[in-house]
Structure 1
Amino acid sequence: MAWYHSYFKGLPQRAWKLHQNEEYTDFEVDFLRDVLEIKEGNRILDVLSGYGRHAIPLAEAGCELTCIDISTEYCEELQAAVNSKQLDIDVICADVLGYNFPEKSFNAAYCFGNSFSFFPRRETQQLITAVANTLKKGGYYAIQTENLAESILPNFQTRNWMPVKEGIIYLAENDYRPEEGYIEAEQTFISGAESVTHMVRQHIYTLSEISYMFETAGLQVTGTFGNLEADPFVLGDEQLYLIARKL
């Protein structure tokens, strides 16, 4: 069983949510509205949606969302928000790799939250192709990742740590495996007397490799940006926003 099946619960799940910046999320939602050419009434697929930090404001703006995530805790939290706010969001708690989406159903799709690197090459291609098949012709697919080779490798750190919020400390020991193309990380979260450790595997691709996988799936890459101001991605940028269009 892959690491992400059991990672997003308890202390790691709480730490990840606390680490998110609400103002930056608002900027990302505005960015999505722009690059996905979202209109009121559009059907949108949120891949690995978490607790719905992007989906909820899009639904509040009049879009119809389908959200899929493997974390029971996040799905329950999102469903509670859907029920209380009466939002048009279909919450699916499942492994995205094993889920069959209806073809040509969505006007747009996105995968944000640094989740794109969870899968090895074959499964990543499988996911991109599945999303491409569920898009209507001309629909856009946007991804965000901090685990691009051009972002990670120039300043690779074998150890790092940071305070989160509410007294939580995050520590990581990273081992890059070039033959396999992934980072194996021992991640530890500490909160008072509580400590949780997980082994995490993040698959590292170059921008060229990702672009090729999108093109193989019938998606034309229309933009690769290093920030929400849409500056072109360059070597060393901390993250990538990639936009592609269904041919």
Structure 2
Amino acid sequence: MAWYHSYFKGLPQVAWKLHQDEEYTDFEVDFLRDVLELKKGNQVLDILSGYGRHALPLAEAGCKMTCIDISAEYCDELSNAKTKRKLPVEVLCGDVLETDFGQGKFDAAYCLGNSLSFFPRADMLRFFTKIAGSVKPGGHVALHTENLAESILPNFQARNWMPVGDDIYYLAENEYRPEEGCIEAQQTFISGSEKVTHTVYQYIYTLAEISAMLESVGLKVVGTFGNLEADPFVLGDEQLYLVAVRK
């Protein structure tokens, strides 16, 4: 069973949500509306949606959202929010690699939140194949990662830590495995007397690898950006926003 099946619950789940910036999320939603060319009534797929920080405002703008995530806690939170606000959101709880979310059904799809590093190479190709198959020809796909090789490796940190909110501390010990293109990380979350540690495997890809895999499954890359202002991605940028079109 992959590490992410048991990761997103308890302290890690709480810490992830606390780490999100609401204003920045608003900027990301505006970015998605633009690059995905979203219109009212569009069917949109949110992959690894979490608690719906992008999906809920897009649903309020008139998009019909389908959201998939593996965290039961996040899915319950999203389901409760969409019911309370009476929004057109379908919530699918499960592993994205194993869940059927429809073929050729969506006008657009996106995966934001730094999740692309979850998958080793064979699974990544399966992941991209499923995304490509779900989107109509001409439909746009947006992807985001902070773990691209060009971002991580120039300033690789073997150890790092940071406070999350007022009560949680996050610590990581990282070992890069070049033969696997993978970072094995021991991630620890501490809050008061509670301490949770997970072993996490983050698979590191170059932009060329990502682009080649997308091309092989029928997704043509049309933009690679280092920020939400759409400046072209360059070596050392801390994150990548990639936009592709279904052939």
Normalising TM by the smaller chain, what interval? over 0.9
Cα distance, 1:167 vs. partner? 1.5
Does residue 154 of structure 1 match 2:154?
Answer: yes
Matched with 1:89 is: 89
Cα deviation digits, residues 137-167 of structure 1 (max 9, x gap): 1001100000000000000000000011022
Report the counterpart of residue 174 of structure 1 in structure 2. 174
- Three-state SS of the structure 1 residue aligned to 2:97 is helix
1:199 maps to 199
SS where residue 31 of structure 1 aligns? helix
The one-letter code sitting in structure 2 at the alignment partner of 1:197 is T
Instruction: Give RMSD over aligned pairs.
Output: 0.5
Q: Which residue of 1 aligns with 2:118?
A: 118
1:30-45 equivalence runs, <5 A? 30-45=30-45
Identify the residue that residue 104 of structure 2 maps to in structure 1.
104
Correspondence 1:129 to 2:138: no
Instruction: Report the CA distance between 1:79 and its aligned residue.
Output: 0.4
Letter of the 1:22 counterpart: E
Seq. identity, %? 70
Secondary structure at 1:38 match in 2: coil
* Matching residue of 1:22: 22
Structure 1: segments with no counterpart, 5+ residues: none
Q: Which amino acid in structure 2 is aligned with residue 203 of structure 1?
A: Y
Aligned partners of 1:184, 1:88: CA distance in 2, in Å?
A: 39
Give 1:58's aligned amino acid.
L
Match of 1:185 in 2: 185
Distance 2:102 2:145 in 1: 26
Aligned length: 247
Cα deviation for residue 110 of structure 1 reads 0.2
Could you tell me which residue of structure 1 aligns to residue 233 of structure 2? 233
Q: Residue type matched to 2:29 in 1?
A: V
| Residue aligning to 1:67 | 67
Runs of 5+ in structure 2 lacking a partner? none
Correspondences of 1:45-56 after superposition (within 5 Å)? 45-56=45-56
CA distance in 2: counterparts of 1:232 and 1:35, whole angstroms: 14
